[in-house]
Chain A
């Protein structure tokens, strides 16, 4: 039976076990609930957990391990000359066997007999049933496929039987354990505590998953392309995956990093002054009414999806900059050609800067308002104007925190994807003119991984090397920023 059905049946058993456990507890107490250690529901929950949890774990473990066992058994059925071939060819044969195994149950007896006589007809027979078989089948493959089907059938039946048995046995023993002095609540709560701990460890698992998955794929990439060529290469020219083994292309990180940093720099040039002044005004000057309208409005900017910013850059800001630059150069030189391209560093930078304004302003706002009142009052009392107080007292006091906030904003600028995909261009080159397109690490990750891919070519795997670079840079920025902010917070506590 299918896994879904099995789980459904297990759940039904658990529900029945809950009711039985409850009833047994009720019968034991003879109407006096104080005779029981726990409330009747906890006895029910205990029995249900005993029925469900062990078999659930069994199903999970079985489903993880059984494919490996079956696969190695199927490979054992291959004839010796296939086993002598290279690993890649074996896995190719194995893939074909899996496809054939999936199609076999749909064929009639005569068709199977026909294929046995003449394996070359397999492809056409399967195609008639809408199963695409990649190459011409070998005679042994039919047997291997039959073995595969038989084994997975056995595995599924065994699993179902074992899981149901385990579930019923678990429920039975748990029911036997129900007694007035039995501490059902403590048992149930222990399971709950463990599941809470499990949920919170998902955060660690995610980080481990990110690092492990990207590191393994990146290491595979570095076996094909030397690491120093990637990290110090100045040319990005990956070619196409199918171009042949001789032209593996060049994967230089430097031009992408340069573009990322340049666009991020332009964005910070826009976001930092605007965001900081907005924060200062909101924190120090604005009336409560103005603050309560302007602050949420600015924060709307942070709630708009970045794809919308990208579209805005693509259809509004980019063409506007191009047209206005044409007019400007026309006024000065008489030649109406634009010197700003529609996709350029400055387009992407400005729009990304706008997106970052609310990050800078709300982070700095929190930090500025956290500066103790006494510092402010002291300065004002000595006769300084408010702007003098801000410039000479508050900002120096808040500086570490603000630097932390700016670092966090910078890490966001480096990791931003959709704006640069739409507005920065795809040309990987190193130049200093902000009016021309450059490209970033994130754009190239998207470019290398959209469309059909195979996970064996450096053209695809380079995305993981880029990804782990990006992850490390943003992680370092964030850890340093958090460190600064935390240290600063301690200063005033």
Chain B
């Protein structure tokens, strides 16, 4: 059978007249090339996506661990309060030289003589200056520990932290390196004795901002972003849904509704920085709300997110089939009842999906927040939305402008936190859509 077929086809080819040369080979080559361009374009985009994520992740994953020193520290009276005046003068405990306590404890552990000043200075470089605040708070809350010896955990300095994580090139000449050979030797010794170890970096999520990278954290920024998202959600969801319901279900076709529609489409394309200028001029300058407050940021982001939510909500409302409305109206429901009792619940999954995507967009927005002053150095957690605060992306911007190497790690860590939130929100939106979306 196959033989016959082959024979037959062979005969046909043999008999066919010579075809006109229409450049088929050339045209097919062009076709292949064209396809290749398409593949190359997609690959280019994906490669850069990968590079971007890899660059952030590889620089930032170490930020979630922090090198710490755990050692017994003697709260000696001679250093904290040499003249024994703390009963009469509360300033003594405030201003005592606490880092010396840590230095002495470390020096004792490492066997450095207390007369060797150069070596002592090097010992001081091992731990973070944030130990001052930590020990002060311990003593202030319980002055009876003066004179006792307690195990305390203090942060290692940023340079030791980087060195311990292997981020420094140790082949570089000692003079142009941030850590000396002596310090590295001590570091190894302490690590062997279990004094120096890496632990989970809780401070990154709890602390406020700090000029010392090892003590700087996202605490204020996370709370600030939380306030922002809360305000945006509370304001933009009801307003956005109400506006879309009006435009989609009730609006007569006239100049006013046309104007509103054109406006919404244009507002969706206005650069975000313009919203920042609006917030600065209207909310701060005219209405007199405080600068740097999450309330103002939330209002600005609400105005920015509204068009996105309105567009998504209108699409969701439009997807509800007219038969639902006709059935409800036919049973005697009023137009308002039809909309709120039947159409809106059916459109809810779509509306929520659009809202989450809008919120995710607002969470990553930086430029308008810079203009309304949320770029301030804030070390204390804001108690209300009217207190000065920062936000996650703004904190990233501020750290990105810091020169120290350890801040690159912190910045990347903060970006990972931001991206994690975005991934969670978008996954939530996708799941919501998968779970509840109905096809009519």
CB pair B281–A213 under 8 Å, yes or no, is yes
Scan A119-153; emit 1 where CB is below 8 A from any B CB, else 0. Answer: 00000000000000000000000000000000000
Measured between alpha carbons, how far is A197 from B244 in the docked complex, in Å? 10
Known: A446-B367, A450-B375. A470 touches B273 (CB 8 A): yes
11 pairs from A and B in contact (CB 8 Å cutoff):
A199-B242, A200-B242, A203-B243, A276-B41, A281-B35, A282-B42, A361-B45, A387-B35, A445-B371, A446-B370, A470-B273
Min CB–CB distance A474 → chain B (angstroms): 6
B433 an interface residue at 8 Å Cβ cutoff?
no
A interface list, Cβ under 8 A from B: 185, 189, 192-193, 195-197, 199-204, 206-207, 209-210, 213-214, 216-217, 273-278, 280-282, 285, 294, 297-298, 300-301, 303-312, 314-316, 354, 357-358, 361, 385-388, 390-391, 408, 411-412, 414-418, 421-422, 442, 445-446, 449-450, 455, 463-464, 467, 470-471, 474-475, 478-479, 482
CB pair A192–B280 under 8 Å, yes or no, is no
B interface: dominant SS: helix
B328 an interface residue at 8 Å Cβ cutoff?
no
Residue of B nearest to A186 (CB): B334
Min CB–CB distance A264 → chain B (angstroms): 12
Measured between alpha carbons, how far is A189 from B336 in the docked complex, in Å? 7
**B interface bracket (residues with beta carbon within 8 Å of A):** 35 or more
CB pair A449–B42 under 8 Å, yes or no, is no
Residues of B within 8 A of A277 (CB): 37-38, 40-42
Residues of B within 8 A of A202 (CB): 239, 243, 306
Measured between alpha carbons, how far is A185 from B397 in the docked complex, in Å? 53
Q: Apart from A301-B45, A386-B31, what are 14 other A-B pairs with CB-CB below 8 Å?
A: A189-B336, A196-B243, A204-B259, A301-B48, A304-B419, A307-B400, A312-B55, A312-B56, A387-B31, A411-B271, A415-B273, A445-B277, A450-B375, A475-B270
Measured between alpha carbons, how far is A417 from B264 in the docked complex, in Å? 22
Residues of A within 8 A of B59 (CB): 315
Residue of B nearest to A315 (CB): B408
Residues of A within 8 A of B31 (CB): 385-388
Measured between alpha carbons, how far is A274 from B44 in the docked complex, in Å? 8
Residues of B within 8 A of A285 (CB): 35, 38
CB pair A387–B267 under 8 Å, yes or no, is no
Measured between alpha carbons, how far is A183 from B194 in the docked complex, in Å? 80
CB pair B418–A308 under 8 Å, yes or no, is yes
Residue with the highest number of chain B CB atoms closer than 10 Å, among A204, A207, A217, A311: A311
CB pair A206–B306 under 8 Å, yes or no, is yes
Measured between alpha carbons, how far is A89 from B310 in the docked complex, in Å? 47
Residues of A within 8 A of B51 (CB): 316
Task: Pick the residue among B49, B251, B278, B282 that contacts A300 (CB under 8 A).
Answer: B49
A interface: dominant SS: helix
Stretch at the interface among B1-9, B315-323, B358-366: B358-366
Residue of B nearest to A417 (CB): B367
CB pair A203–B281 under 8 Å, yes or no, is no
- In chain B, residues 236-278, which have Cβ atoms closer than 8 Å to a Cβ of chain A? 238-240, 242-247, 250-251, 259-260, 263-267, 269-278
